[in-house]
Structures are given as structure tokens and as C-alpha cells.
A and B are shown apart, each in its own frame.
Chain A
Amino acid sequence: MIRLKVNGSEKAFDGDPQMPLLWYLRDELGLYGAKYGCGVGLCGACTVHIGGRATRSCITTMSAASGAEVTTIEGISQKGLHPVQKSWIRLNVPQCGYCQAGQIMQAIALLDSNRRPTDDDIDKAMAGNICRCGTYQRIRAAIKAAAEERA
């Protein structure tokens, strides 16, 4: 039996320990915020936080997530809009929106560890998150705006 915490609540899982956390969240728990985009850690659509760190849930097995504290975009939204979400809305970042939960989770983790990220910092931190609609320019602006808000 694998035990873990998802968005603050205790969960137990006794299926295939090799199953990626992403499919557990989506198919078993019905938490659809984290998305499937590539399944191999190349796009960031599935990004969640484990112990506050941005993590690709598509390549994190359930056994690796044992004992973890997992936060998904739903968990972030439970507490009202996060400053990153607010600046995402203000700058009208999303197009189709499919990648955006992953982008937002990655950006929150970035700002938690770096209050004033430079362009270079942003390039590095966000390099794993693809947006096929091409919203990068607004993502960059929204991260900077959120950083300013918090400063």
C-alpha cells in the first residue's frame, strides 16, 4: 500500500507501483488539472509540486511518490487565486490553455525559490514547459509582474 498526501488529504493506493503519478491523479482521483502532453518528461504539461518542487508527474512513479506531499493546480486554487494566477489573468496569457496549469505550477516554484528572476533565470526554469500556442512572451511578462507584486 502506497500512502501519500494530495492537496492536503491522505490517500492510499494499492495498484501498480510503476504507474506514473499523473495517471493516478487523473484517472483514479479525477484531478484533471495536470495534463498529459508527452509522457516522457519533455513538455511540462503534467507539472505538479512535490514538497514544493516542480515535478513532472508523468515520469514520477507511484512508488517514488510514496510518502510525498503532492500539490496540483487544484490545490493551489483551493486557497484563492495565487499571485501568479492573478498576473496570468491580468496579462491574458493562455490561448488554448492546455499547457497553462503546468506553466503556472512551474512559475510558482520558480518564484518561491527566486524572488526576482532575470530573463536568464526564467529561460532556465521554464525551459521544460512547451506551449504550442506560443504564449511565451506573455508567460515571461506575467512571471515578472508577479515577482514585482510580491516584492
Chain B
Amino acid sequence: MNTISNVSRRAFLRGVFSAGALVLGVSLAPETLLAEADNRSKGDPRGAVFQPNVFVAIEPDGTVRIVAHRSEMGTGIRTSLPLVLADELDADWDRVKIDQAIGDPRYGSQDTDGSRSIRGFFDTMRECGATARIMLLTAAARQWNVPQSECEARLHTIVHLPTGRKLGYGELATAASSLPVPPRSDLRFKPSAKWRYIGKWIPGYDLRDICEGKPVFGMDARVDGMLYASVEHPPVLGGRVKSVDDKAALSVPGVRKTVAIAPFTPPCGFQPLGGIAVVADNTWAAFQGRQKLNIEWDNGPNESYDSEKYKQELRATSRQPGKVMRSAGDVDAVFAKGGRIVEAEYYVPLLAHASMEPPVAVADFRGDRVTVWTPTQDPQAVQETIAGLMGINPENVTCHVTLLGGAFGRKSKPDYAVEAAMLSKAVGRPVKVVWSREDDIRFDYYNSVAAMYLKAALDGKGRPIAWLQRSTFPPISSLFEIDAVYGGPGHLGQGWTDIPFDIANLRVENGAARAHIRIGWLRSVANIYHAFAVQSFADELAHASGRDPLEYVLDLIGPPRIVNLEGVRYPNYGASYQQYPIDTGRLRRVLEIAAEKSGWARRKNGGGTGWGLAVHRSFVTYVATVVQVEVDDKGQIRIPRVDTAVDAGTVVDPQFVKAQFEGAAVFGTAVARTGEISVSKGAVEQANFFDYPLPRIAEAPYQTNVYIVESEAPPGGVGEPGVPPFVPALCNAVYAATGIRVRDLPLAKVNLASRKAA
């Protein structure tokens, strides 16, 4: 539960707003925060926080200032959350100014991941807006000495209906600032029909600036007197410097100094990797100096890690019984009877985030205080990690959040910001740490490699009577616990334990795998490999049974119902299952819409052209995707059209939502076609866009049509859910076009020129 309070006086004392501004703060109670701490073994201290923090201020000049406490990485959240508040306040959007919040536990979790900002804060923003509106109404009614019921808020003014008198929000701010906050029971929300901004297209707050080249990303942060640094990290996770010769590096013009960064104490968590930093007068000199470093490494035990060997190990594990995560009926008994059994194995390699802006941070360390400017998804993690490693108080770490030049989960981990803080302390000046593209690709927190094994027993019509699925991947929790080998309920709940099919005998398992590299969250995380396996296997079974994949998948989903997950540890993305159950009716509907809009019934497969579909629920949003593909004689792929239907419940800004799903199709194309990080002797083999290629304009889907299902259901996520169904839909389309079934990603490794005649 949130408590809204009037902090006008306090905020004025802090000098942030002018005297006489109406300022409302919100304190976020522990329950919500604890629910968000899933998958984190950090012993999150954010629970016990009751102090309010500012969310909205109305200045006497009429400016409405709304705080964006989530990070902007391209999803539009810095616009859409304030928009919800502005709508409820009936503020004029042109007079709204957005302030980006610094890291502060009083905002509750600011970790912008998990596609949950709208879901988590929609109600808070509305309550704040409604509270401020009522206080302005009360102030106006008092001034006119009329009953409040005769007054109405209308676009930045309060109107007295019988007389037509008006007072602007600015004129009322000071009077309102001395009023008590109305009780929650007095709040009246606008009916959705009266929404001014929600559900309409409002251009992003930063749109024009971006097009003029003006906004400040982390890469553009600058403070006076700062030096530039670039860090040579140990090539193998856990490696250390044996010896270093930095003479040549120091002779590069502009290079000032080299600084050793200590290796981390396992588990690695968010600590820097260690290594040798070159500090210089500009980025280029720092890069040059690094190339001249002569370092001998002690690579440590992870030197034996080889991704090809590891793949075979994961596969072998997936063929053996694993830990049972969900079970219904008796799978073994059905399999023992024999009959028609189908088995398949799938594999998805490590994936890198490769946001266009590599990790970067500026830090200024003075005395026992640090100020940081960085593109981070989680400013409080920056504070906590720096504080913990440098032995200072988290309150003494100020983290300014710049715009993020893409993030996709990488920038939830603050290792690079910690480097900047340590280097600033070492050289006594502000320091900007710039990761090169090569650093970004080689030293990522990769999306986990995974091997999946599936087995089904089919009845006479090809419908599964029994279904077994086993997934093996090194878990993200290995960042925090050295011995972690099993996936947590959160990641197994990403498209695995929550399989929505109507099958009487069902077992879901997880195999053990130890990590030898940093594993992290990447746009939709475990959903990527789980949806790939499940939706590919469903397509295989449809073909094996001679049935239309659309009709077959609808049959697998079964009748509209709430999937019963009793007895399954299923965190449901931190949402309550009662409020956000798995509703197969919604799942069916998105699939039917995508199929219908794409013209599925009229499709023509073969001869190098193919259509594929997939449907998946993640981040409590339902998505179905139909992909059309053309494969030429050389095996080159073109994707002329994608149709995606989305049920994300209530949608704040449909333009942002559409853009997220268009982008997800391109992101999915990257995963499916070329996404692979490989490791030899413990070191990542890729370095830049020549060996970790991303789709270019001609390789991306030519046209992605997004259909948003009108819904009054509470809002779901939109940043991530587009990726999981795209990848299997594309591979299913490739099968329809070529007869080649892709079970191991990426497609680039499969020779599609050898297609079977249609």
C-alpha cells in the first residue's frame, strides 16, 4: 500500500522547488518491494522504508513537475508513467516538466527490468494525480466559498461550474500546499472514457531532443576536470594479473597513469572484474594506452571452459531425469505403454546484449562521498554496490541516471559504475570509464545457454496424452551463490513451469548446470529458450500429425480456463496470480487474431516461402506472432512480414507499445539468425559487430504489424514479451519454407540452401 503525503514544506526546505509549491510524496510500503526482490539473493534492504519521496510538484507559475523514477532506455517509460499522473491531474502536458530521479530507496525499487514499471506504478501515479487534483479543487472551493461539488478540474484550471469562474493550477498551488492530504476513500478516478492522454499517442518527452542530437546519454556525461579510463579485464572470469609491464602504455601521449583494479572475491555478483585501467586525457589515448599494455594473466579454473564441450554436457544432463518442478498425472506410465512417441532436443547459445551504447560511467570521489552519472537500470544497485565495496555509506553515493542508449538488462548490473568510482578515488579526479564495443561483447552478463529435451506420447489424432520437458541452463543465481546449479522458480516460471497446454500427464523438470561465465538477464531472459523449445516442439507435433499448426496449437491450449498451478512454485513475475492468472482464453484470442490478420488460412508454403506461428505469455502479457519468410537458393533469409497480436491489458501509450513489438521482432531476428557467443579456453571469442552481427535494415523484418487487443485488464509488460514467440515463429516458418527443422540456434550455422523440394 502506498501512502501519499504533503511534503511541500520539506521539499521547499531542501531547495528543490519554489516557495509555495504544492509537493506530494509517496512512501512505498514493504510488501510490494519484497515481491520484487524475487530472483535476487541480495538480501534486499529496501524493505524497511517508510519515508515519502517526491512524485509531483505544482509550482506557483503553473509548471507541473513530475518525477520519473524509472530509467529510460527506449521503452518510453519516462513519458508514459508521468503521463498517467498528468492525466489523472488533468494537467496540460505542455506545461509538464519531467525530473529524472536520482537513486533513492524511498522510491521503492527503481530497478527498471522485468517489464513491470507500468504494472507496478500505474495505480500509484493515478492516486498521486487524483490527490493533487482534489487538493486543488478544495483550495478553489474555499477561495470562492462555494461547495466543492460545484467545481471541476479542466486542463490545468479549476472551474466553478455555476458561474464559470476559473483559477489556474499555479494560482491555487500555494493554498493547496497547506491543505491536508484527502483520505484514499475520497479519491475519485476519471473513468477511462475521460482519459485525455492514456491510450492516445503522446510523443516521447525526449523525442525532439533525440532528433536534434541533444540529449545526454551516459556516454555524453561530462564533469569539469575529468580524466578518461579504459580497463583491460582478465579474459577469463576469475582471472588475475600475474605481471604487468605498462612502460609502453605510459609513453602514449595523453596517458597519465595505470591503475590496478583488484580481482573480485567470488561470487562475482556486481563487482568489477578486475584488471588494469589506463587513465588518460581523452578516450582515444586511454584506448591506445591499453593496447600497449603487456599483461601476463593467471586465468584460474575457468580456463577449461569451452562452449562446444559445455553444450554436450548440457545435452547429456537434459537426457537424464532432473529436478521435478511440476507434475500432473503419470507421464512415465503413459510412455511405458509405448505407442507414438516423439522426442526432440533444442539448444540456444549464450547471447550478448550489445546495446548501442556500451557500458560507461562518470564518477567523482571526494572524501567519503561519490557522485556518479551513468546509464543504469538500477541506480540503487549502483549506490549499494559502490558503498559495499568501498566501505562508505549508501546515502553518500549519489547516482544520477542519464538516458540509456539501450540496455536490455545489461545495465541492471553496476560493475562499470563501480570501476569509475574506484578509479576516481585512485587518481583523485573525476573519471569517466568507457567500455569499448569489444569490452561490451567480451565481458557481458550473458543470457544463459540452455539445452532442452522434450518428449510426447500422441493419441490417434496426434494430440499429446503425455508431455515431458526438461531444461538445463546455468542459473543467474550463480552470480550470487558459487554453488548454484538449479534454476530458481522465477526463471523456471518463464515459459517452463507455466506451460499452458491442456495435457493430462505433464512433467516439467530442470537439470543442474554450473556457470563458468557471468550469466544475467537479457530481454525476456529464460522465456527466449523455453518458448523456442515449446513452440518449436508444438509445431513439430502438428506436422508429425499432419495437422494445421494453428488448429493444433489451439487444441493444445484447450478450452478457455484459468491454468491451475496449485502446488507449483510460480512467482508470476511478481504479480498476484489472482489478479493476473494464466487465462487460456486470452492466449487463444491473440493467436486467433494474429492468424486472421496475417491471412494464415490463405498461406502458401514451400518453394522457399514459409509461414510460422507461435504464442507465448510472459510478463503477464499474451503475444502471438506469425512470421513469413523467404529463403533463396543460397539459403539467405528475408522476412517480408510479421503479424503480432498483443494483449497487455490496459495500454498507456499505444505508440510506445507498437514500437516495442516492432523492435522485439528485430531483436528476435538477431537471436534467431546470428545470436551466439562462444567460448574457447575460458575466453569469449567474439568482439565486435563483425563476429557478433546484428540485423541491418535489409535483414530486419520489412513490415511488422502490431495489433493491440482492447482490454480493461490491469496492465502487463510490453518491453520484453515480443521476443519469445518471435524466435520459434521464425524457425517454424523456415521449416515450412525449406523442410529444415532448426533445433539448435543460431540459424546462421544451419545450411538452408539444401532445402527439400516442396
Contact = CB atoms under 8 A, between A and B. Distances in A.
A72 B220 CA distance: 15
Contact of A89 (B208, B283, B285, B702): B208
Nearest to A100: B210
Nearest to B252: A16
18 contacts: A19-B282, A27-B282, A32-B217, A32-B222, A35-B356, A35-B357, A36-B283, A77-B212, A85-B212, A89-B211, A92-B659, A95-B663, A96-B406, A98-B217, A98-B219, A98-B405, A123-B698, A127-B696
Interface string A119-151: 000110011111111111111100000000000
Interface stretch (B198-206, B442-450, B474-482): B198-206
B679 to A, nearest CB: 21
A28 interface: yes
A95 B203 contact: no
Interface size class of A (residues with CB under 8 A): 35 or more
A146 B204 CA distance: 20
A136 to B, nearest CB: 4
Nearest to B222: A30
Contacts of A28: 282
Interface stretch (B38-46, B186-194, B687-695): B687-695
A32 B689 CA distance: 22
A4 interface: no
A19 B697 CA distance: 30
B667 A134 contact: yes
A16 B406 contact: no
B752 to A, nearest CB: 21
B217 A16 contact: no
B22 interface: no
A97 B210 contact: yes
Contact of A97 (B287, B403, B666, B689): B403
Given A20-B284, A129-B696, A130-B356, 18 more contacts: A16-B288, A23-B284, A26-B220, A35-B219, A92-B659, A94-B211, A96-B406, A97-B215, A98-B405, A101-B210, A127-B696, A129-B697, A133-B663, A134-B695, A135-B662, A136-B696, A137-B700, A138-B659
Interface in A18-56: 19-20, 23, 26-28, 30, 32-40, 42-43, 45
B392 interface: no
Given A92-B659, A139-B697, A132 B213 contact: no
A96 B356 contact: yes
Contacts of B534: none
A73 interface: yes
Contacts of B688: 38-40, 42
A81 interface: yes
B667 to A, nearest CB: 6
A34 B694 CA distance: 20
A35 B704 CA distance: 28
Interface in B634-670: 655, 659-660, 662-667
Contacts of B700: 134, 136-137
A15 B253 contact: yes
Contact of A98 (B222, B284, B406, B698): B406
B657 to A, nearest CB: 12
A95 to B, nearest CB: 3
B698 A96 contact: no
A104 interface: yes
B403 A39 contact: no
Contacts of A27: 228, 282-284
A88 B690 contact: no
Contacts of A131: 356, 666
B406 A134 contact: no
B212 A73 contact: yes
Given A77-B213, A92-B204, A97-B210, A45 B356 contact: yes
B659 to A, nearest CB: 6
A49 to B, nearest CB: 13
A148 B632 CA distance: 33
Given A38-B437, A95-B75, A122-B697, A135 B211 contact: no
Nearest to B217: A98
Q: Interface majority SS on B: helix, strand, loop or mixed?
A: loop
A16 B251 CA distance: 13
B342 to A, nearest CB: 34
Nearest to B404: A96
B662 A137 contact: yes
B254 interface: yes
Contacts of A20: 284
Contacts of B288: 16
B210 A32 contact: no
A92 B655 CA distance: 8
Residue of A74, A94, A99, A135 with most chain B CB atoms under a 10 A cut-off: A94
Contacts of A136: 666, 695-697, 700
Scoring A85, A88, A100, A132 by chain B CB atoms within 10 A of each residue's CB, the highest score goes to A132
B430 interface: no
B282 A73 contact: no
Given A38-B688, A39-B436, A98 B356 contact: yes
B355 interface: yes
Contact of B207 (A89, A129, A133): A89
A44 to B, nearest CB: 9
B83 to A, nearest CB: 14
Contact of B212 (A43, A81, A92, A140): A81
Contacts of A132: 354-356, 406, 408, 667, 694
Interface string B702-715: 11100000000000
A28 B697 CA distance: 32
Given A26-B283, A94-B204, A97-B215, A138 B696 contact: no
A127 B696 CA distance: 6
B637 to A, nearest CB: 15
Given A19-B284, A23-B282, A38-B437, A33 B659 contact: no
A89 B403 CA distance: 18
Nearest to B209: A97
B73 interface: yes
B21 to A, nearest CB: 31
B210 A94 contact: yes
B701 A137 contact: yes
B356 A138 contact: no
A18 to B, nearest CB: 8
Interface string A70-94: 0011101100010001001100111
